[in-house]
Structure 1
């Protein structure tokens, strides 16, 4: 089911936002965060949501606008939100490049740039999960889903699939480590 996969991708994205947040805390303490992991998170966001996840949502949203314009209006301008997320991500990538190149940059500015991106993504995902996905499930017809599915040429997620790319090895290891720490904290 398309919505189930999009929801799973949102949960995967939340894991990455949590890692970015953890690395930001390291940076805020004045320690050196894992820039390899941060770079992999940025690469992931440049690749997967932009190229695969958002275009799928756009297909669903276009159908929703036809089937239930009122519900679509309540969801708002998804394309603009996706564009804003991409713009904020570019600011994060530039800030990280500046830090790594030892350019003059205030720590609080770097913090604000990364925090803005994390918070925008979380608000956006929450809104889609709360408003957009339920509206689509309610309004779209079986033939809409068939049409959307046939339009998707979606390879597996490069980070959260078996055939994951080497680019994301360090990031995958970090995700597993955080999940194990969280699990250990529960016992």
Structure 2
């Protein structure tokens, strides 16, 4: 089901936000974070949410607007939110590239830009999970879901599926290592 896949993608995105947050903490302590991992996270956000995840949400939202305009109004300007998220991501990418190019950049400014992205992404996904997805599940009819499913591509997530892309290998290994460390801490 489309909403289940979108929710799973949110959980995957949260893993990446947590990694970005950990790397930012390393940076904030004055140490060198893993820039290969940071760049891979940025690259993932440039590709998957923008090209696949958000367009699917936009299709669902368009149907919701037709079926339940009041619920859609409560969700707000979803496309606008996605656009603002893309702008914040561009600022993150620019800040990271400036650091790597040894440009004059304040550590606090980089921290603010990256934290702003993380906070807004989490808030946005929370709103979708709390308001948008339940409203869509309630309002849309089976034929709406069929129509949406026929319009979406069957493209697999390049990081969290069996069809993985080589450029995400370091990031995938980093995620697995963090999950193993978290599991070991729970025992």
Shorter-chain TM-score tier: over 0.9
Deviations 1:104-149 (A, max 9, x none): 0000000000000000000000000000000000000000000000
Residue 83 of structure 1 deviates from its aligned partner by 0.4
Offset, 1:10: 0.2
Residue pair 1:88, 1:116 contacting (<8 A) in 2 also? yes
Q: Does 1:170 find its partner at 2:170?
A: yes
Q: Mapping of 1:56-75 within 5 angstroms?
A: 56-75=56-75
Counterparts of 1:25 and 1:169 in 2: how far apart (Å)? 22
Provide the rounded CA distance (Å) in 2 between the counterparts of 1:47 and 1:9.
Answer: 13
Task: Find the counterpart in structure 2 of residue 13 from structure 1.
Answer: 13
Aligned to 1:134, what secondary structure does the other structure show? helix
For 1:154 and 1:72, the matched residues in 2 are separated by: 26
User: Which residue number corresponds to residue 35 of structure 2?
Assistant: 35
Structure 1 CA distance for aligned equivalents of residues 153 and 17 of structure 2: 26
Within 5 Å, give how 1:1-187 maps onto structure 2.
Answer: 1-187=1-187
CA RMSD of aligned residues (A): 0.4
Once the two structures are TM-superposed, the CA of residue 153 in structure 1 deviates from its matched residue by 1.3
Deviation of the 1:163 alpha carbon:
1.5
CA distance in 2, matches of 1:53, 1:75: 17
Kept in 2: contact 1:56–1:152 (CA 8 A):
yes
Separation in 1, partners of 2:46, 2:108: 24
Name segments (4+ residues, structure 1) moved above 4 Å: none
The unaligned stretches of length 5 or more in structure 2 are none
Deviations 1:27-86 (A, max 9, x none): 000000000000000000000000000000000000000000000000000001000000
Runs of 5+ unmatched residues, structure 1: none
Q: How many aligned residue pairs are there?
A: 187
Structure 1 CA distance for aligned equivalents of residues 116 and 107 of structure 2: 14
User: How many angstroms apart in 2 are the aligned matches of 1:154 and 1:121?
Assistant: 24
The separation in 2 between residues aligned to 1:103 and 1:21, in whole angstroms, is 22
- When normalised by structure 1's length, the TM-score is 0.99
Report if the CA contact (8 A) 1:75-1:131 is conserved: yes
